[in-house]
Amino acid sequence: MKLPHAVTLMPLQRHRDECGWLAEIFRDDWGQAKPCQWNATVSEAGVLRGMHVHRSHNDYLVIVQGLMTVGLYDIRPDSATRDLSASLEIGSDDLVALRVPTGVIHGFYCHEPTIYIYAMNAHFHPDDELGCFWADPELRISWPCRDPVVSERDRRAGSLAELRERLGSFTFA
């Protein structure tokens, strides 16, 4: 599976014992962008969150419970993988940190109740919560669902073409 440039999957080490497990999920000496904010998200089975894209921050995401299909699309005009579409399945069994850089549109379909934690290297701001409709055929993402539960905001999202127009000639970091 080819991923958009600078999307990375970093394996994390899980320490299991009779109690459950524990893992370091982020350390500031791992060379990632310094987060200034962390969010937690809990989703029911059948939920799709997306598609979202940001101009000002990367997402650094760890699934601590559940399983999801991640859909990605590279909208960066200057990217070596411009217009690349990808989807991959990640769950808490894998225990990886997924980095999604600015300019990579992303959405998450949850196969089961799923909890993930994510770090941002800029504070949340509604103006930087851009997106497009998850089922836009131009995204070429094979979602494993037909009628997912989608938030009102995501249901009302415009097309990929409209998102391109809104971004204009914006240059992603």
**Residues that bind a copy of itself in the complex, under the rule CB under 8 A:** 17-29, 36-44, 47, 49, 62, 64-65, 113, 115, 117, 119, 123-124, 149-152
Size (the chain), residues: 173
Distance between CA atoms of residues 14 and 110, nearest Å: 22
Please state the closest distance from residue 61 (CB atom) to a copy of itself, in A: 12
Of the two residues 97 and 130, which places its CB atom closer to a copy of itself in the complex?
97
Give me the least distance between CB of 158 and a copy of itself, in Å please: 19
Nearer to a copy of itself, 62 or 70 (CB): 62
**Cβ 136 to a copy of itself, closest distance in Å?**
19
Phi-psi region of 153 (alpha: psi -120 to 50; beta: other; left: phi over 0): alpha
CA-only gyration radius of the chain, Å: 16
Residues with Cβ within 8 Å of 155's Cβ and at least 6 positions away in sequence, in order, are none
Cα 38 to Cα 61: distance, rounded to the nearest angstrom: 9
Least Å distance between CB 99 and a copy of itself? 15
